[in-house]
């Protein structure tokens, strides 16, 4: 009653005042007469709305005296009536359209935000990353100190080149709890090159990038809000980074988050490199971004850089032997990891949209067949074709309008859901918004489907003599246009479903296989915490002393069975690749170098992570050296104090892969190698391989050094606590802060969370593709059911005759089943090709399974066939129960 009173507001005020009370009274009467069941209530509201909406529209339409307007109103009123007569079918059409429009738009909006949208940089298509290239496998090396100035001097293709270094870590000190910052050092060209002005203040300038002048900083919007209360007087003030004062010169806008630091973290602080870069000869520590001059293509820049690289090779034969250059668009480099994933998702969603459209078309065709009689009657009574077309279009339009509205709501909800639940390392996901272009596109596709197929009854009637149609009524005679079309739609649906389902199947199997991979270390029951030391621990022995003490205190915490530390947590971000030179063997040319990764670990690292030792021994406290560090990264680095004193030899533990690779068939124990400018390092032990980079990646050859020989300013503490980890973080922080209150403890999480976090994107894709496959299968089943039921119903007369002539009931059932299975087989055959194409697209995401895995294809084809047969079963049963007497009598 109240609802109806509200709905009355749809009428113009004057009308409402004049008739409102009486209308309410009439509604009350009708409502009282309607049965108090759910069905009764639904019927009541259906008829009420069918009455209310068109009449309100009519009262509202201002120029209803004009012929065309009153016709439009009539069109919509009749459309509404037609819809209300078959509400289930209409609801199904609307639901299908909403699903297709909504999911396509949502996924595309996300793809668009992450992949296609230009970055918030000035003319981002002109930006490139310039890498050093060693070999086809080793395409992306950082650039050495002597190379960058040479590039700047020689290359003409670029407006500017800027260098970025990630080599210095700062903690924000002197402002609350110490905070570990993601710091990026750049040359001054960086800000003018990116072309993004600071929101407050400015970027640093050339003068501030000179050696000895670099005490200025640009901070991120996030840091500014989090630690400085978004106070604009921050510009010009001094902040303390790891105890060193820096003057803040600018605050970047919130969407400027480049370049991402370790693990894709948004940068907090940009500081000038401000050092004599050209003196750091052979030290590969710079990433180079460039802005191409107008009119210069990437290929031209690449060609020029090849020449530049050749020139430097000639000048520096010793340092640059085999070094080439690799110019890549910045955009592609940033989104590299998620590109395939999003393309696969988009492929999946596009197929689902098509399946949805096939179904909408099919339902409308089914509806059309029941409308033929009505339309024929109207034409007989003198309705013009144009008039009928208008009405059918109005019906299609009304359905499309409702479906579109549902689609928009669904899309908005899905995007909000994705933003809230996705893993944090998908770049720019948070800027995803409902994309109007796609919405228009998806809505356009499905609205067009609705309109075109809505007009089918008219086309059919046009081909058939009206009086003939009237005479024959519902009798099953030849339907020249509709049948092949409907069958083709179902075949297309089956084919598309096979493609989506196999793709999902392959991904699911990949995920299953990945989950069963043994990482080589035991991640359960281990807590990780990043500890990075402030700059006053610059003295290398002080770093070692701090971590020795930290590990000792962490081991003593209640519940902790063992504690260790490493400079790179397993399966954390990043990977170190380095070339080793084996004692007594000639150095390999650069293109044949075998990349070896390495980690610095503490004593008990292997036992804490459950990595078994297979030969030799682990590190012991007796390995501690006086002269630290071990590795000099470039020849100019001074030799550490005490190098000539008697002390333990440099030692390393290697993994089995490294042992096999460098010392096949012999014991590696006691063998020696060097890294960069290091003394000879002796192999003292061999451990099992562990997948330290990613679960899906085969481990590289790897060696481990001890931090007592190669101290680190930043390590991750690892605590094994069999009794549970939840109560550990607070005491761990206190333990660290009891040594030094200024040391930040960041990223406290379990090792299992780290491993699992790397799988989050893959898991999300598998889930989404699985959901797409499920929806596709459901839509397909619906489509097959509808067509086969309809065909069977059309053949009732024929079936009756057959039965009367002595056909067995089993034959009849077979007839209908074969009809369905035939469609399915044809669709599957067509679908396998599409499936393979989609699988190839996702091949980089597949793990230990071929894109053409025959078992998957066979199984999913069988599943699709089984579902079609199941969908054919009910109509087959109905056909089987046809009573020939009844059929023949009524016809």
Partner 1 sequence: MTSAIVHILLSLAETDRHGLGIAADVKTFTAGRVTLGPGTLYGTIKRLLDDELIEDLGAPLAEDDDPRRRYYRITAKGRRALEAEMQGLTSVLGVARRRLKTS
Residues forming the site for partner 1 (CB under 8 A)? 11, 15, 18-19, 21-27, 29-30, 47-48, 50-52, 54-56, 58-59, 380-381, 467, 470
Question: Is 14 or 38 the residue whose CB approaches partner 1 more closely?
Answer: 14
Q: How far is the CB of 375 from partner 1 (least distance, A)?
A: 16
Question: Is 47 or 430 the residue whose CB approaches partner 1 more closely?
Answer: 47
CA–CA separation, 340 vs 346, rounded Å?
Answer: 10
Question: Is 380 or 804 the residue whose CB approaches partner 1 more closely?
Answer: 380
According to DSSP, residue 414 is labeled H
Hey, is 418 helix, strand or coil? helix
Phi, psi of 168 (to 5 degrees): -125, 130
Q: How far is the CB of 19 from partner 1 (least distance, A)?
A: 4
Residue 147 and residue 312 in contact, taking contact as beta carbons nearer than 8 Å: yes
Residue 26 burial (CB < 10 Å; 0-12/13-18/19+)?
exposed
Question: Is 60 or 225 the residue whose CB approaches partner 1 more closely?
Answer: 60
Residue 366: closest CA among 482, 459, 448: 482
The sign one gets for the Cα dihedral 445, 451, 454, 456 is: negative
Q: How far is the CB of 383 from partner 1 (least distance, A)?
A: 13
Question: Is 14 or 229 the residue whose CB approaches partner 1 more closely?
Answer: 14
Q: How far is the CB of 471 from partner 1 (least distance, A)?
A: 8
Question: Is 45 or 441 the residue whose CB approaches partner 1 more closely?
Answer: 45
Residue 830: closest CA among 358, 498, 372: 498
Question: Is 21 or 649 the residue whose CB approaches partner 1 more closely?
Answer: 21
For residue 604, is it left (φ>0), alpha (ψ between -120 and 50) or beta?
left
Question: Is 43 or 240 the residue whose CB approaches partner 1 more closely?
Answer: 43
Question: Is 23 or 110 the residue whose CB approaches partner 1 more closely?
Answer: 23
Question: Is 10 or 801 the residue whose CB approaches partner 1 more closely?
Answer: 10
Q: How far is the CB of 26 from partner 1 (least distance, A)?
A: 5
Residue 707 burial (CB < 10 Å; 0-12/13-18/19+)?
buried
Q: How far is the CB of 54 from partner 1 (least distance, A)?
A: 8
The sign one gets for the Cα dihedral 346, 351, 357, 359 is: negative
The sign one gets for the Cα dihedral 676, 677, 682, 688 is: negative
The CA–CA distances, whole Å, from 688 to 119, 190, 573, 605, 704 equal: 44, 44, 21, 13, 12
At residue 175's C-alpha, the angle toward residues 169 and 177, to 5°, is 75
Helices 809-841 & 796-804 angle (0-180, nearest 10): 140
Percent of residues in the chain assigned helix, strand, coil, to nearest 5: 55, 15, 30
Q: How far is the CB of 99 from partner 1 (least distance, A)?
A: 32
Hey, is 526 helix, strand or coil? strand
Question: Is 29 or 297 the residue whose CB approaches partner 1 more closely?
Answer: 29
CA–CA separation, 221 vs 269, rounded Å?
Answer: 10
Residue 372 and residue 457 in contact, taking contact as beta carbons nearer than 8 Å: yes
Pairing of strands 714-720, 324-329: unpaired
CA–CA separation, 500 vs 497, rounded Å?
Answer: 5
Residue 625: closest CA among 601, 653, 649: 649
The CA–CA distances, whole Å, from 835 to 139, 851, 862 equal: 32, 9, 14
Q: How far is the CB of 891 from partner 1 (least distance, A)?
A: 16
Question: Is 59 or 340 the residue whose CB approaches partner 1 more closely?
Answer: 59
Question: Is 19 or 663 the residue whose CB approaches partner 1 more closely?
Answer: 19
Question: Is 380 or 515 the residue whose CB approaches partner 1 more closely?
Answer: 380
Q: How many helices (H) and strands (E) does the chain have?
A: 25, 24
Residue 710 and residue 678 in contact, taking contact as beta carbons nearer than 8 Å: no
Tokens of 154: 């020689």
Query: Distance of alpha carbon 377 from its chain centroid, rounded?
Result: 54
Residue 876 and residue 818 in contact, taking contact as beta carbons nearer than 8 Å: no
Omega cis (within 30) before 782: no
Residue 545's contacts (CB-CB under 8 Å, 6 or more residues apart) are none
According to DSSP, residue 527 is labeled E
CA–CA separation, 337 vs 287, rounded Å?
Answer: 18
Hey, is 861 helix, strand or coil? helix
Q: How many CA atoms, within 13 angstroms, populate the side-chain half-sphere of residue 60?
A: 13
Hey, is 454 helix, strand or coil? helix
Question: Is 54 or 250 the residue whose CB approaches partner 1 more closely?
Answer: 54
Tokens of 536: 């006053």
Q: How far is the CB of 829 from partner 1 (least distance, A)?
A: 47
Tokens of 180: 């570990």
Question: Is 52 or 504 the residue whose CB approaches partner 1 more closely?
Answer: 52
Question: Is 381 or 730 the residue whose CB approaches partner 1 more closely?
Answer: 381
Question: Is 11 or 188 the residue whose CB approaches partner 1 more closely?
Answer: 11
Rg (CA), the chain: 36
Phi, psi of 857 (to 5 degrees): -60, -45
């Amino acid at each position: 009653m109240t609802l109806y009173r509200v709905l009355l507001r749809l009428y113009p005020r004057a009308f409402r005042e004049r008739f409102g009370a009486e209308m309410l009274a009439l509604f009350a009467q009708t409502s009282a007469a309607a049965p108090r069941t759910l069905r009764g209530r639904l019927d009541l509201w259906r008829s009420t709305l069918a009455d209310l909406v068109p009449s309100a529209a009519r009262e509202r339409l201002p120029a209803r005296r004009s012929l065309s307007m009153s016709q439009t109103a009539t069109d919509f009123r009749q459309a509404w009536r037609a819809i209300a007569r078959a509400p289930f079918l209409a609801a199904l059409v609307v639901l299908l359209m909403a699903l297709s429009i909504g999911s396509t738009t949502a996924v595309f909006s996300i793809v668009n935000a992450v992949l296609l949208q230009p970055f918030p940089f000035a003319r981002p298509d002109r930006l490139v990353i310039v890498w050093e290239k060693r070999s086809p496998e080793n395409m992306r090396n950082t650039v050495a100190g002597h190379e960058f100035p040479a590039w700047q001097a020689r290359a003409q293709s670029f407006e500017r080149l800027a260098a970025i270094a990630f080599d210095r870590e700062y903690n924000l000190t002197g402002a609350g709890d110490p905070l570990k910052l993601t710091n990026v050092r750049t040359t001054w060209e960086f800000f003018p090159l990116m072309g993004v002005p600071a929101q407050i203040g400015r970027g640093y300038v050339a003068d501030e990038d000179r050696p000895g002048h670099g005490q200025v900083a640009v901070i991120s919007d996030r840091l500014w809000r989090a630690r400085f209360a978004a106070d604009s007087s921050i510009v010009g003030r001094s902040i303390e980074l790891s105890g060193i004062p820096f003057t803040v010169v600018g605050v970047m806008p919130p969407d400027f988050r480049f370049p991402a630091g370790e693990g894709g973290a948004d940068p907090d602080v940009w500081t000038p490199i401000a050092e004599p870069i050209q003196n750091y000869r052979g030290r590969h520590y710079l990433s180079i971004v460039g802005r191409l001059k107008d009119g210069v293509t990437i290929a031209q820049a690449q060609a020029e850089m090849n020449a530049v690289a050749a020139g430097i090779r000639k000048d520096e034969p010793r340092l640059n032997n085999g070094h080439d250059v690799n110019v890549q668009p910045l955009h592609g480099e940033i989104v590299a990891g998620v590109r395939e994933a999003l393309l696969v998702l988009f492929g999946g969603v596009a197929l689902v949209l098509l399946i949805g459209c096939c179904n909408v078309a099919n339902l409308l065709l089914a509806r059309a067949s029941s409308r033929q009689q009505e339309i024929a009657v109207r034409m007989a009574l003198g309705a013009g074709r144009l008039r009928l077309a208008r009405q059918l279009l109005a019906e299609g339009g009304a359905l499309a309008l409702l479906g579109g509205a549902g689609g928009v709501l669904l899309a908005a909800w899905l995007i909000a859901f994705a933003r809230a639940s996705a893993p944090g390392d998908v770049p720019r996901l948070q800027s995803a918004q409902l994309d109007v272009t796609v919405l228009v596109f998806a809505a356009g596709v499905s609205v067009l489907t609705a309109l075109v197929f809505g007009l089918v009854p008219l086309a059919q009637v046009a081909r058939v003599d009206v009086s003939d149609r009237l005479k024959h009524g519902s009798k099953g005679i030849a339907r020249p246009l509709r049948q092949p079309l409907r069958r083709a739609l179902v075949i297309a649906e089956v084919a598309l479903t096979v493609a989506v389902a196999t793709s999902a199947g392959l991904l699911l199997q990949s995920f299953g296989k990945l989950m069963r991979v043994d990482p080589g270390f035991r991640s359960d029951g281990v807590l990780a915490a990043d500890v990075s030391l402030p700059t006053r621990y610059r003295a290398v022995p002080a770093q070692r002393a701090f971590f020795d003490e930290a590990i000792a205190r962490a081991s003593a915490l209640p519940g902790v069975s063992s504690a260790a530390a490493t400079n790179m947590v397993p399966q954390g971000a990043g990977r170190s690749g380095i070339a080793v030179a084996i004692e007594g063997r000639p150095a390999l040319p650069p293109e044949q170098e075998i990349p070896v990764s390495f980690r610095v670990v503490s004593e008990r690292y292997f036992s804490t992570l459950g990595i078994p030792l297979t030969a030799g021994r682990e590190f012991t406290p007796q390995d501690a050296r006086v002269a630290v560090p071990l590795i000099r990264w470039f020849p100019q680095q001074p030799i550490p104090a005490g190098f000539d004193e008697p002390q333990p030899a440099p030692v390393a533990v290697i993994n089995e892969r490294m042992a096999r690779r460098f010392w096949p068939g012999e014991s590696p124990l006691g063998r020696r190698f060097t890294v960069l400018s290091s003394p000879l390092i002796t192999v003292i032990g061999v451990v099992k391989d562990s997948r330290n980079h990613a679960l899906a990646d085969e481990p590289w050859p790897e060696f481990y050094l001890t931090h007592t020989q190669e101290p680190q300013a930043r390590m991750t503490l690892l605590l094994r606590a069999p009794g549970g980890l939840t109560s550990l973080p607070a005491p761990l922080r206190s333990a660290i802060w009891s040594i030094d209150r200024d040391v930040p403890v960041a990223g406290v999480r379990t090792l299992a969370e780290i491993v699992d976090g790397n799988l989050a994107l893959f898991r999300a894709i598998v889930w989404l593709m699985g959901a797409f496959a499920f929806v596709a299968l459901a839509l397909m089943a619906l489509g097959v059911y509808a067509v086969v039921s309809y065909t069977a119903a059309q053949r009732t007369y024929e079936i009756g005759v057959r039965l009367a002539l002595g056909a067995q009931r089993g034959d009849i059932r077979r007839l209908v089943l074969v009809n369905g299975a035939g469609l399915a087989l044809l669709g599957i055959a067509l679908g396998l090709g599409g499936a393979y194409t989609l699988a190839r697209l996702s091949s980089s995401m597949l793990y230990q399974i071929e894109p053409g895995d025959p078992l998957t294809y066979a199984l999913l084809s069988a599943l699709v066939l089984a579902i079609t047969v199941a969908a054919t079963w009910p109509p087959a049963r109905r056909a089987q129960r046809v009573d020939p007497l009844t059929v023949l009598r009524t016809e």
